[in-house]
Amino acid sequence: MTKPIVRLYLLVMVLIGILVFATSWWTVFGAKGLRDNPRNRRELLEQAKIKRGEIKAADGTVLARSVKAPGDTYRRTYPTGGLFSHAIGYSYTNIGRCCLEQFRNDALTGQRPELTSLIDQLTGKRRDGDDVTTSLDPKAQQVAIDALGGQKGAVVAFEPATGKVRVMVSVPGFDPNRVREKGYFEALNRDNANAPLFNRVTQSGYPPGSTMKVVTALAAIDSGKFTPGSVLSGKNGIVISGVPLNNFGGQEFGDVDLTTALTNSINTVWAQVGEKLGKATMAKYMTRLGFYSKPPLDYPPPQKRASGPYNARGDLLSPLSPRIDVGRMAIGQDKLLVTPLQMAMVAATVANGGVLVRPHMTTKIVDADGRVVDDVPTDEITRVVSTSTAAKVNQMMRNVVREGSGTAAALAGIEVAGKTGTAEINIPQDITQPWFIGFAPASDPKIAIAVTVERTQGGTGGTVAAPIARQVMEALL
């Protein structure tokens, strides 16, 4: 009789343990996931009764606020319209939320530790959201949008020493005030040709063209295998991975050093460098720079994409995959796809003396009583290359703007360092993807930038992207 009782006792204890574990999981560990789940209408309805905190630009401009609505609820409104549509996003009961509105939802809805929340409920204290202050610059943001001139593309700029994002533009955008309108959100989702809800800064996968040569230069010099003065042949048609490679426009060069090769963006030189470095060395420096991982931005993970080589099915390849043509990857060709944010991180690393700092939009969170509850610090991710290497590549990039393909990015009285890129999307139709990455002032960098424009007719990085970068840098500096 004793054994059946013991077995029953053990069974009851196991069932109680499972019940405790399941309850703890959903109330503690899985709580945030439930709150963030766009299908959780109960959470959305409850939060509609909370006055969400404001989201502000660096200059105090209100980018998002809550106003009274029927039924003791609040409705979100966006005073600057579509100016920051992809950075700030939207938050509506009938739709859900995205972008910074989603990432900072806990703060904006006044989520507190359980003990604090319980005390507030017992004392009848109203639950208001915290205000979120960002580093975004409305004037420079408008300059970037105007400079793109309706062309599909992206501009992102941040401070290399602090990681503060000043500009994040993806065109086309949308008006977050209209997202709640019947039919508007559905129309945005159906517009596959323009993809207005898609953030090209963080989600796009574009071939980087010759901007990738900055990554190759960092790896080449920091590895000790090359110097800016190392000489290689710039002859057109050099065989890379068994196939002849052409320089842009079929240009022919003799023996040139790496500084000249970057200034004139000589494909055959940098492809040879990539082959000599090999996949393992390229992978080491690419990984340090953030490739192969989603960008470390305060932004929802589903709205971010990792940069790196992809196969035809859209899968990210292993850094040492036999399918990678390392010579062509080293010049931004082959299977390489990147986000503009990733390439801005490359430029920022050079600008910041070889150290990569985590980019972020949020600078501080302030509660309803005016207390700073979170002051977002500068967060160094890693030292990518030595200070000496960064200084050498900085000088090489200055030469690109001083006398190479990036002269259109030059600013009066301020030296700019940069690199252009022109990815060939469709050679027979002459469709290209122009790029510019860079920073300024070159001797004491305050801003790093990446600009790209989708599918232009014969446009180059120097003629299309560099002038846009110049206007944005000028607005910020």
Mean pLDDT of 224-246: 96
Helix (H, G, I), strand (E, B), or coil: what is residue 286?
helix
Give the residue from 175, 204, 200 showing the smallest Cα distance to 188. 175
pLDDT in the model for residue 36: 54
Q: What percent of the chain has pLDDT over 90?
A: 80
| Tokens of residue 24, six digits | 């703890």
CA dist 177 and 81 (Å) reads: 7
List Cβ neighbours of 270 (8 Å cut-off, separation of 6 or more): 210, 213, 216, 217, 261, 262, 330, 331
Mean pLDDT of 327-355: 97
pLDDT in tens, 346-370: 999 999 999 999 999 999 999 988 8
CA dist 259 and 266 (Å) reads: 10
Helix (H, G, I), strand (E, B), or coil: what is residue 169?
strand
pTM recorded for the entire structure: 0.88
- Per the model's pLDDT, the better-predicted residue between 16 and 333 turns out to be 333
CA dist 468 and 408 (Å) reads: 9
List Cβ neighbours of 179 (8 Å cut-off, separation of 6 or more): 90, 92, 95, 185, 188
Q: Which residue has the tokens 């596959």?
A: 192
CA dist 34 and 43 (Å) reads: 8
Reply yes or no on whether 210 is catalytic. Answer: yes
Q: How confident is the model at residue 45 (pLDDT cuts 50, 70, 90)?
A: low
List Cβ neighbours of 150 (8 Å cut-off, separation of 6 or more): 171, 172
pLDDT in the model for residue 8: 73
* b/e burial code for range 229-256 (CB count within 10 A of at least 16 → b): ebebebebebebeeeebebbeeeebeeb
pLDDT in tens, 268-318: 999 999 999 999 999 999 999 999 999 999 999 999 999 999 999 999 999
What is the number of H-type helices and E-type strands within the chain? Answer: 16, 22
Q: How confident is the model at residue 128 (pLDDT cuts 50, 70, 90)?
A: confident
Active-site residue identified among 210, 265, 307, 405: 210
pLDDT in the model for residue 116: 47
Q: How confident is the model at residue 112 (pLDDT cuts 50, 70, 90)?
A: low
pLDDT in the model for residue 279: 97
